[in-house]
Chain A
Amino acid sequence: MIACSKHRGNFSALIDEQLDFNTKFETQQHLNDCPECSEQLIQTRDMQAFIEKSLLAGAEAQPDIWQLLQDKMPKVCDLIREEYSAYIDDEISAAAQDGIKSHLDTCPICRRDFEQLKKANEAVSKVLKEPLSVKVDLWNSIKSQLNASCALITAELSPFIDQEVPNQRHRTVAAHMLTCQNCHSSFQKLAVLGDYLKENYVPDLPEDFDLMPQLSAKLRVTPLPADQPLVRNKRPYILGAAAVAALIGLIGLTFLLFSFLWREKPPMVTSEDYIIQYCLAEPPEKLEANIYDVTN
């Protein structure tokens, strides 16, 4: 039974002729000896034949895609017709150009259509070119719109009042208001606003409003009396300082002179006189010691 199960695993490969020589020989030997395995092989072969037959039958039922596709595919003439425009503008590849050219040579209908399209295209491009005889002046129409549009003029009234509009535009706005009552009215309303503000938008200050006392306290500034101006006050000080300097100079000179004279004639005092005078000036307890020192 073990041998049977071993060889039965090779049946599929045997049918497909995929066994090596030795295994094939051994399997065939076993098949000759074992009728059950022989029966099993026949069954396997039949089943495989059935499967192959079924697969072939399925293949025969598959439709021919190309055949089906041919009916649905767009015709070459239609495709070429779609590319006429790009062909005229030279905007397709060289291969496509060759294809179209050869098709046009062979298909008279497409040739006729192409010629018609080409002529129409030439006519249209000729018309679309700017004719030199016609002059278009957009500026005048824009200018008239700028000068006539009340919305634009009204939007510019604020800078117009403030003289902040360029000269030419200022004149235009002024000219517009001569003819347009609405804009003139808007202008007057805006102009009166300025006067109204100037008249009414002012603080109620007391007549004796004076910040200086509080400021002085904060700055610690002591203002000089107004009737004694700063420049005039300086003069007495300068004169006083000059007088004091002159006095000091005079005293100094006198002192120098006297000291000079003193040096010229010093008083002649002998050592004995000096000692006597000194001793008389000293207290009695120092007297002895001084005399003693001198005598020594």
Chain B
Amino acid sequence: MVSIYSQKSDRDLILACQRREPAAFEEVVKRHQNTVYALLFQLAPDWTDTSDLCQEVFIRVWRNINNLRNPAAFRSWLTQVIINLFFEEIKSRARKATPKRPEDSEPLEALPVAVETTQGGGEELDENHLKLSDHEVVRKAMARIPEQLRTSLVLREMEGLNYEEIAVLTKTEMGTVKSRIAQARSQLQQVLAPQLEVALQSGANSSS
């Protein structure tokens, strides 16, 4: 269904939301729901209620939209809302004192290569199958690294924010962000070593 809002820019939509026009808000939700869901998922790949959190984000957006002074900066404001909700959730979940999963205490060992096991019959397996396996591997690897490191790395790699922006969002110093990202990369390299080796080789083959 095409509404008059679907052609409008984010800025105009936000202005309309600030005038409390529900149809504009619907367009905002439709436009950003995938990115919000993706970011929440990337921040916490092992949470099962990402969809509920996503709704909570948009409810907060609708309630507090008039706090946004610069409608052009909606995207970064939205990220701030997501990060705030994420940190609140971490605190509340920590208070509930859920038993620690056994894999949390495991040492960081390289995960098995999904591609290797399928390479024998690689010709028969389609690419989607390989991708799915890689997705699972990455998800497990990301779930293993500490949440502070993961948050900084996700904001850098997935959101493309610079260190200063990440420091503001996570309420830390730039130096801390720098070291967290470096640590996260180092740990992921350790866990995903076989997968990265395969990716590197395939990249080298495609470039040659």
Interfacial residues of chain B within 1-22, with CB under 8 A of chain A in the complex:
1-6, 21-22
Contact, CB under 8 Å: B33 / A211: yes
Residue among A158, A202, A221, A229 making CB contact with B185, cutoff 8 Å: A158
| The one of A162, A201, A205 that contacts B138, using a Cβ cutoff of 8 Å | A201
Alpha-carbon gap, A188 to B202, bound state (A): 13
Q: Is the CB of B25 within 8 A of A221?
A: yes
Tell me, rounded to whole Å, the shortest Cβ–Cβ distance linking B201 to chain A. Answer: 10
A230 interfacial contact with B, CB 8 Å:
yes
8 A Cβ contacts from A205-251 to B = 205, 209-212, 214-216, 218-219, 221-224, 226-227, 229-230
**B90 part of interface (Cβ distance < 8 Å):** no
CB atoms of A209 and B163 under 8 A apart:
no
Decide if B182 touches A193 in the complex (CB within 8 Å): no
Q: How far is the CB of A209 from chain B (nearest CB, A)?
A: 7
Check A200 against B23 for contact (C-beta < 8 Å).
no
Interface centre among A201, A202, A216, A227 (most CB of B within 10 A): A201
Contact A226 B182 (CB under 8 A): no
Stretch from B47-55, B71-79, B97-105 forming part of the interface with A: B47-55
Contacts of A99 in B (CB 8 A): none
Q: A226: which of B23, B37, B199 is its contact (CB, 8 Å)?
A: B23
**Is A155 on the interface with B (CB-CB < 8 A)?**
yes
Decide if B34 touches A209 in the complex (CB within 8 Å): yes
CB of B208 to closest CB in A, whole Å:
14
**A212 partner residues in chain B, CB cutoff 8 A:** 26, 29-30, 33
Decide if A230 touches B23 in the complex (CB within 8 Å): yes
Q: Is the CB of B182 within 8 A of A158?
A: yes
Chain A 180-198 interface residues, beta-carbon cutoff 8 Å to B:
188-190, 192-198
Please name all residues of chain B whose beta carbon is closer than 8 Å to the beta carbon of A229 when the two chains form the complex: 3-4, 23
Whether the pair A224, B200 counts as a contact (CB closer than 8 A) is: no
Q: Is the CB of B162 within 8 A of A155?
A: no
User: For this complex, into which size category does the number of interface residues on chain B fall?
Assistant: 35 or more
User: Residue of B at shortest CB range from A163?
Assistant: B162
For the complex, what is the distance from the CA of A197 to the CA of B42, rounded to whole Å? 10
B26 adjacent to A223 (CB under 8 Å): yes
- Given A200-B131, A201-B42, A219-B59; A211-B29 close (CB under 8 Å): yes
The answer to whether A203 touches B185 (Cβ under 8 A) is no
Contact of A211 among B1, B58, B181 (CB under 8 A): B58
Select one of B21, B134, B181 contacting A200, CB under 8 A: B134
Known: A162-B162, A164-B178, A223-B23. Contact between A210 and B33, CB under 8 A?
yes
Q: How far is the CA of A198 from the CA of B59 in the complex (A)?
A: 28
Whether the pair A159, B55 counts as a contact (CB closer than 8 A) is no
Task: Give the B-binding residues of A (Cβ under 8 A).
Answer: 155, 158-159, 162-164, 188-190, 192-205, 209-212, 214-216, 218-219, 221-224, 226-227, 229-230
Q: Which residues of B approach A to under 8 Å, CB–CB? A: 1-6, 21-23, 25-26, 29-30, 33-34, 37-38, 41-42, 45, 50-51, 54-55, 58-59, 62, 131, 134-135, 137-139, 142, 153, 156-158, 162-163, 178, 181-182, 185-186, 188-189, 192, 195-196, 199-200, 203
Other than A162-B163, A197-B188, give 13 A-B pairs with Cβ distance below 8 A.
Answer: A158-B178, A164-B163, A196-B199, A200-B138, A201-B138, A201-B142, A203-B42, A205-B34, A211-B58, A218-B59, A221-B25, A223-B26, A226-B3
Across the A-B interface, the 8 shortest Cβ-Cβ residue pairs: A226-B3, A158-B182, A203-B41, A200-B138, A221-B22, A200-B134, A211-B33, A229-B4
12 A–B contacts from the bound complex (CB under 8 Å): A192-B200, A193-B196, A197-B153, A199-B134, A200-B137, A201-B139, A215-B59, A221-B22, A221-B25, A222-B22, A223-B26, A229-B23
